[in-house]
Structure 1
């Protein structure tokens, strides 16, 4: 059974941190995912995976971060975002809050590609001053071969992998009548050579490459494929959580400066 932070009392959380020091934080976004998926897609996936994994490991799971770095989808109705520096500072701030209560290792269960580099930077900051060990985990990056095998025409956003996952997690939120329109109005493929002009990434927003903001063949998604992806990704997350939990904290911290230490020869 997972320990969901916002559903506990403070004495119950006191019992947790007396024995454990790891927390799992789900993150996603509130942004367009085409005409067939809800704006909640990313944080629904992140929270579902975090809850499934902590249900198996018994670790603390926090409420999800629902609004993040999504400005590249701003042309589409309903997309919400914060500036990257605001996101980084916010995540770092609440993570330091967790450390005040006894947490010294955190897994950011991320389901939005726009968050990746910023979560890595936050983890670097926290590790640099030896406050905590915090790492970003992206669900589809944990099972790349399975994702590629499941779909003939995958896509980085609003494609069949996310569609299948939401079909499994919250099928009633998928507008199945819009799957054909999503495919026809989007972009099926986005090859590496299509991303650059004379070596430069000459675009900034998703609308620059896709009229409806989505990629891949959404019609290839099924709840069964979503369940397979979900279980495989959960297995990977459980492995990561248990590995981090097993490590001595000192082994997770930065190595010291190589010898000679700066100033060691001064008298």
Structure 2
């Protein structure tokens, strides 16, 4: 059930305590892919998992702006602080809990959101009669994740191919880089992506393929379904201290 497409009476009559909350970002993904890449993918993974799941659940609206200041040098990138992001996500989830959806999986599409989501979900689970856990799609699929690279370009090519500028793929690859960050002694010296990639790309978008994107979507959605099944039987109270 898509929350934004349902009436309040539909939601009142929903026979489930499970909800998905997609979270993305609006940020640069090189000269060839849209700023909304992470949002489009997070939404699609959540919707596909809803279709694959043998049961009822609610899919909330996708949060489109996240922790993305690392891409601030590239025009169009939007961001909020981790504090603002955690608070917004937490209060949105608490709204779901208020209506009885006390098992929530946050479906994340952006690497910059990972740490903040882990902390936010832990705090909610520790202090409420609820269980909330983050799921980041690219941590659950095969292949090396970059930024605007093969995986993300493939998924957008499958989901909304008209948003990929095919005539820019070669240039995007040549002026990008093959690794994230600037590393020394196990420490990433770079805070912003412009420090190590000229055009914002990490990886090889020229290898992006819609067929691969379809496979990645199914792989991510099936992994999410397995997580949903586990969350559906998870205890909602914290264990007693011993």
Distance in structure 2 (CA, Å) of the matches to 1:200 and 1:14: 50
Gaps of 5+ in 1: 148-153, 259-267
Q: Deviations over 1:201-247 (max 9, x none)?
A: 22100000101111111111111111111111111111111221133
Give the counterpart of 1:201 among 165, 174, 188. Answer: 188
The structure with more helix, counted as a fraction of residues: 1
Secondary structure of 1:29's aligned partner: coil
Give, in angstroms, the shift of residue 195 of structure 1: 3.4
Do structure 1's residue 134 and structure 2's residue 124 form an aligned pair? no
User: What is the aligned partner in structure 1 of residue 11 from structure 2?
Assistant: 13
Distance 1:230 1:41 in 2: 14
How much has 1:253 moved relative to structure 2?
3.1
Aligned counterparts of 1:108 and 1:155: Cα–Cα separation in 2: 20
Could you tell me how far apart the structure 1 residues matched to 2:104 and 2:70 are?
Answer: 27
Query: Per-residue deviation at 1:199?
Result: 4.5
Where do residues 92-107 of structure 1 align in structure 2 (5 Å cutoff)?
Answer: 92-107=90-105
Instruction: Give the superposed CA RMSD.
Output: 1.3
Q: Distance in 2 between matches of 1:207 and 1:78?
A: 14
Give the number of the structure whose alpha-carbon radius of gyration is greater. 1
TM-score, scaled to structure 1: 0.86
What TM-score comes out, normalization by structure 2 length?
0.95
Which of 18, 22, 26 in structure 2 is aligned with 1:22? 18
Q: Which residue does the alignment assign to 1:43?
A: 39
CA distance in 2, matches of 1:38, 1:231: 22
Is the contact between residue 140 and residue 223 of structure 2 (CA under 8 Å) also seen in structure 1? Answer: yes
Q: Structure 1 CA distance, aligned partners of 2:186 and 2:209?
A: 37
User: Match for 2:155 among 162, 165, 185?
Assistant: 165
Structure 2 Cα separation of the partners of residues 232 and 223 of structure 1: 14
Point out 4+ residue stretches in structure 1 off by more than 6 angstroms. Answer: none
Report what 2:219 is aligned to: 232
Question: Are the equivalent residues in 2 in contact too, given 1:155–1:189 (CA < 8 A)?
Answer: no
| Match of residue 201 from structure 2 | 214
